[in-house]
Each structure stands twice: as structure tokens, then as C-alpha cells.
Amino acid sequence: MRVKKTFNESEEIVVSKKEIRGFILGCMEKIDCDAEHAQQLADILVTSDYRGHYSHGIQRLHVYVNDIASGACAGTGTPKVVKEKGATAWVDGANLLGPVVGNFCMKLAVKKAREFGIGWVVARKSNHFGITGWYAMHAMSQGMVGMAFTNTSPCVFPTRSSQKSLGSNPICMAAPATNGDNFFLDMASTTVAYGKIEVAEKRGATMIPSGWGADAGGVETHDPKVVLGGGGLQPLGGQEATGGYKGTGLCMMVEILCGIMAGSAFGKNIRQWQTTDQMADLGQCFVAIDPECFAPGFAGRLQTFLDDTRDLSPLDEEEPVLVAGDPERGHMAMCDELEGIVYKKSQVVHLVKLANDLDIPMFRAKRLNDVLACESDSD
């Protein structure tokens, strides 16, 4: 049973995707969010947890709720195309939920890629859009290579800086191979996403690895509480000596494709994370490319490349060589076996307050040990 490798504690619970989805929809209905927008948010939060990216799943629900309840983000409306030329479009996100803006833009990019071979869409006035992979996944499901990027609130110390001025600005590229296999790189431009440190702290970690975070003055720390209590993230690569300047460059590259190109807020001027006194005005970028515009047989060659990589002799027989997307595939297979998503109770306990505040029932969960016991009975 795959799950035993990852979880073996009695504090773990299993929640069906249907329960989580219902909880999200219940919360969003209470704050008068457009039902169709709520569905789009639920899709991405559930998918995030299902893929194992707990940093951007239901643990972030209260942030979206606060944004809409406070009026900092709009719960109704439609994104609008401001300017369009051939394969490109510039979109005004109308301050709607990030997933609503992102889905609109990526669908438009795919439509353009069908016509022109490529579609490149940038949006201003958007909000936090969750896992970047969601949007690239849509392009990939249409046979395209998909890429997506967003800027975020400043939480990163650029190399040599004692001040935060960059976001964790994620990058995703998803490319279809054969028989449903794919390359799926979905990553922050920092060593880890900020939410991963939130999750680590909620799960009881007192130490984080080198290269992840820094204290309020930009000095490396291994204490998650110091990072979350006013500190920040290190760019991908960590310190200068280990190549952190490349992460700084990636954060800036994403900002150029997003905030600078879209005319939205950018860099240190984006509102602070989880504040609601002004709109986030995030910039985002969505690209779809039809690989068949180039050498025929892209999917087959990519499959050979993925297989060649996975088949490399590993350093440790217990740890096979993976390609981007494989860890998430393993996590989804585990969830499928369990018929639900596994959480440590401490990861979701803050949602009890949200349920109470909004006066909706908390989702129902099973104890992981009970689920495993049932499975071994039926083996």
C-alpha cells in the first residue's frame, strides 16, 4: 500500500474530494460569491491537495473568503479583453478570483494557439490564482504545451538584499507525451512555496532545510516560525554561493512577463500577503503552443526523453529517477487508493473556525488508520 511510505500516524485523516468541494462551495455561498466562480475555485483547491500541493489547497480557503468578504476581491463579474492582436491578448481581470481570471485567459490562449500556433495572454487586476499547473494542465489537455506564470506579494529577499521585494513567482510548463504521460514542471521561483513553510509549521516541524527561508533581515534561518513571523523566502538556490542569484533572476523574469508586461502592480509595490486594504492587482501570463507547428512527432520524442530519464540507473535503488510531475502522479494514485485526500488534523484545524464563523458544517473525515484497517481486511 503506497500510503504507508508517506503517512503512518494516527493523527491523519482522509477526506473525500466531494466533501472538500462541498465545504468550499458552502463557504463561498455564504459570502455571496458567484456560484460559477466558486466552482472554479473549488476545482483548483481540490486539485491542489489531490496533487499533494497542500500549500495551495484548502489550507488557503480562508484567504479567498477574506478577500471577497472584505470587498478587496470581486465575487461577481467577467474578465474583459482590453487589447488583442493576432496571437496575443491583454486582459483586465476585473479584480475577480484568480482562478476565474486564469481560466478565462488560458482558454483564450488555447483558442489563439489553434488559430495561430501560439496564444500569449497577459492579465492585470487579477488575484491569487492557486497552483500554476492548473492552467498549464488545461492547455495540455487540448494537445498544447502550456505555460503559466504569476507575480505574488513580496516575500523574497533578492540575493544580497536585506529587504523583501520579489514574490515567489511560480512557473509552470506542461507538455503532453503519449498515453496520458507528460512533463509537468510546476514550481515556485523560490526553493519552496511560502505555503510549504506554513504547512510544515502546521504539521509540527521545528526545523526547515537550508535554502528555504530567512529572518526579517534576510539572514538564513531554519526556524519556520521565524520565516512566518515577518521573515521571508530565499530565491531558488538559496544563498549566493549555491546559485541563489539564478532564483532571483527567475523571480524577476516572471515579474517581467507578468506585472511589467500586464501593467499591474509589481515587485515591492504589490500589497502584503493576506492584507485586504487594497486590491491585489496581480499580473499573470498564460501561453499555449501547438507543438505540431514544428517538427512532427513531438509527443513520441518527448515520451522517449521521459523514459530515458526515468530509466537512468539511480544512486539508490529505493529512489528511482523521476521526471517533473511524477511525485504528483504518485500522490494522486495514493489518494485514489484511499478514495480521499490525506491530511494531518493540525493542517485543517483552522478551518473549524472558518466553518463556525460562516455557520456551515465542517466536512466529514475518516481516520486514516480506520481506512487502512478496512483495506487490509478486504485484501
Ligand X SMILES: NC(=O)c1ccc[n+]([C@@H]2O[C@H](COP(=O)([O-])OP(=O)(O)OC[C@H]3O[C@@H](n4cnc5c(N)ncnc54)[C@H](O)[C@@H]3O)[C@@H](O)[C@H]2O)c1
d(CA 374, CA 379): 9
Find the shortest distance in angstroms from Cβ 322 to ligand X. Answer: 4
* Of 253, 260, 322, 362, the one binding ligand X by CB under 6 A: 322
- Angle at CA of residue 61, ends 60 and 66, nearest 5°: 105
Contacts of 291 (CB under 8 A, 6+ apart): 143, 144, 145, 175, 176, 298, 299
Region 159-198 residues binding ligand X, contact defined as CB under 6 A: 168, 170, 172, 184-188, 192-193, 196
d(CA 86, CA 115): 9
* Of 89, 131, 262, 341, the one binding ligand X by CB under 6 A: 131
Nearer to ligand X, 20 or 174 (CB): 174
Q: Does 244 bind ligand X (CB under 6 A)?
A: no
Q: Does 127 bind ligand X (CB under 6 A)?
A: no
d(CA 160, CA 168): 17
Residue 24's closest CA among 51, 47, 43, 8?
Answer: 43
Contact mark string toward ligand X, 41..80, x via CB under 6 A: ------------x-xx------------------------
Region 82-121 residues binding ligand X, contact defined as CB under 6 A: none
Q: Does 344 bind ligand X (CB under 6 A)?
A: no
Residue for grid cell 485523516: 13
Nearer to ligand X, 49 or 365 (CB): 49
Query: Cβ distance 4 to 361 under 8 Å?
Result: no
Residue 194's closest CA among 159, 164, 219?
Answer: 164
Rg (alpha carbons) of the chain, rounded to whole number: 21
Q: Does 253 bind ligand X (CB under 6 A)?
A: no
Nearer to ligand X, 112 or 128 (CB): 128
Nearer to ligand X, 288 or 306 (CB): 306
- Specify the amino acid at residue 160: R
Q: How many residues bind ligand X (CB under 6 A)?
A: 28
Nearer to ligand X, 42 or 193 (CB): 193
Site residues, ligand X (CB under 6 A): 53, 55-56, 128-133, 150, 152, 168, 170, 172, 184-188, 192-193, 196, 322-325, 327-328
